[in-house]
């Protein structure tokens, strides 16, 4: 089973929740922001904690760690069960989709990535075991898309979000 992840920008969590309520949790298509769609990047298999955290660490020139990318749950809006449950198979926290708001430090690290540092960061990213020896040239467009998205979010005073679905 694959994990689908999309990154997008929005003014705040309330705007994200309103959009997801209209679509029953599906992420509205990316498009012109004025059309009500989110501006975003499809990034299959790029979870915020591990896979996105690695280029963020490379850009910051620091070691990757599990808590590098701060996240706050936004969706589902129902209370999250504790570690001991109850976990119902039909419960939204069990089935998804899920949306998290990324911390501004992640947005800013990506937005501030100097164009001259991107190739080295992508080369380090390609070495991650999650990419199974991917060619950095294949990851470069994805990295550039995420960086451009972060730059647009910061310029607009918006936050970055990750939509996750199984």
Q: What is the pLDDT of residues 120-161, one digit of tens each?
A: 889 988 988 888 888 999 999 999 999 999 999 999 999 999
Give the tens place of pLDDT for each residue, 54-92. Answer: 999 989 989 999 999 999 999 988 777 777 665 666 676
Q: Which residues neighbour 154 within 8 Å (Cβ) at sequence distance 6 or greater? A: 107, 108, 111
Q: Which two tokens stand for residue 64?
A: 């990757």
* Domains of the chain (ranges, CATH numbers): 4-79+90-165 (3.40.1760)
- Is residue 1 over pLDDT 60? no
Give me the DSSP letters along 56-82.
HHHHHTS---TTSS-EEEEES-SPPPB
CA dihedral (60, 62, 63, 67) positive or negative: negative
Tell me if 92 sits within 8 A of 155, measured CB to CB: no
Helices (H) and strands (E) in the chain, counts: 6, 5
pTM: 0.89
């Amino acid at each position: 089973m694959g994990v689908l992840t999309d990154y997008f920008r929005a003014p705040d969590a309330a705007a994200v929740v309103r959009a997801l309520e209209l679509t029953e949790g599906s992420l509205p298509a990316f498009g012109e922001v004025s059309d009500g769609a989110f501006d975003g990047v499809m990034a299959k298999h790029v979870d915020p904690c591990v896979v996105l955290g690695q280029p963020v660490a490379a850009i910051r020139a620091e070691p990757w760690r599990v808590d590098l990318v701060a996240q706050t749950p936004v969706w589902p809006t129902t209370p999250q069960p504790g570690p001991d449950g109850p976990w119902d198979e039909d419960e939204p926290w069990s089935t998804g989709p899920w949306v998290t708001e990324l911390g501004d430090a992640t947005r800013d690290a990506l937005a501030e990535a100097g164009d001259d540092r991107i190739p080295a960061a992508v080369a380090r990213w390609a070495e991650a075991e999650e990419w199974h020896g991917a060619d950095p040239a294949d990851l470069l467009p994805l990295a550039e898309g995420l960086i451009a998205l972060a730059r647009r979010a910061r310029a607009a005073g918006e936050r970055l979000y990750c939509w996750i679905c199984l």
